[in-house]
Amino acid sequence: MNPGLPSRVQGGMRALSLALAAAWLGAVAPAAAEPAAKADDACAEKAAAALQRRYEAVRDLSARFEQESRSVALGGPAATARSKGSVVIAKPGRMRWSYEEPEPSLVVSDGSELWIYDEANREAQRLTVTEGYLSGAAVSFLLGAGEIRRDFAVRALECGPSSVLLELVPRQPASYEKLEARTDPRSGELLETTVVDLLGNRTRVVLHDLRVNQGPDPKLFRFEPPPGVHVVELEPAH
């Protein structure tokens, strides 16, 4: 993440960039986990293939979201932050995350630039979107060109007839360690996703009231700073 961003926004953006793959796959409210069966390569292959088919069928989505970030402080207790709001995502590379709680804020990208608007502080941060900012597999999914088995090393941690827990480890260097995805292997729907970063922090994102392939207005992905808002130009991370 860019070191110039406030810690609250960094945490939110980490979840946004790394959970985009999960969003494309049609996340729904998590179901109760089934007793784990023996996980094997065939189980992982089947579940990953179903996820890929689901991903390829989705052009855009809108939903309500709940986000939970658990930060593991070095030498101290873990802290959990929760937020919620609404999201619209469209291939290629467009998104609009409207945070309502714990305080209003907005993250908007048209695929070439990204805006972070802090309503309370009347400040908008602008960043050119490059592969230096959203790296590796996250970029592939954001651009609509992701292939799960190409971009991730996949294994099944749990395997049941209607619930499989996959571990997705990026094959190329990335700003996160892995993605854990609980999926329905029959439909390819993602039931729950957790992103684990390089420090062990965990971010869980769940979507509700999901609607796909609605053709959102392109204007949703553009942002004009309101009058009087201070604009900060951020440099892409290297």
Alpha carbons within 13 A on the beta-carbon side of 201: 22
Cβ(87)–Cβ(23) below 8 Å? yes
Q: What is the dihedral of CA 93, 140, 116, 99, to 10 degrees?
A: 90
User: Could you give phi then psi for residue 128, rounded to 5 degrees?
Assistant: -70, 130
Tell me what pLDDT residue 90 has: 87
Report, as an integer, the average pLDDT of 30-52.
71
Q: Which residue shows structure tokens 């802290």?
A: 79
Whole-angstrom Cα Rg for the chain: 17
Q: What is the dihedral of CA 12, 13, 19, 20, to 10 degrees?
A: 130
User: Is the per-residue pLDDT at 1 higher than 50?
Assistant: no
Q: What is the pLDDT of residues 23-32, one digit of tens each?
A: 444 444 444 4
Tell me what pLDDT residue 124 has: 94
CATH classification of 7-223, choosing from 3.30.1380.10, 3.40.50.970, 2.50.20.10, 2.40.160.40?
2.50.20.10
pLDDT band at 93 (very low <50, low <70, confident <90, very high): confident
pLDDT band at 223 (very low <50, low <70, confident <90, very high): very high
Instruction: Spell out the domain ranges in the chain.
Output: 7-223
Report, as an integer, the average pLDDT of 91-109.
88
Q: What is the pLDDT of residues 185-207, one digit of tens each?
A: 888 887 778 888 888 888 888 77
Report, as an integer, the average pLDDT of 124-148.
64
Rounded to whole angstroms, the Cα distance separating 133 from 70 reads 22
pTM as predicted = 0.73
H-only helix segments in the chain: 7-18, 20-24, 41-57, 137-142, 148-151
Q: Token digits for 231?
A: 């604009």
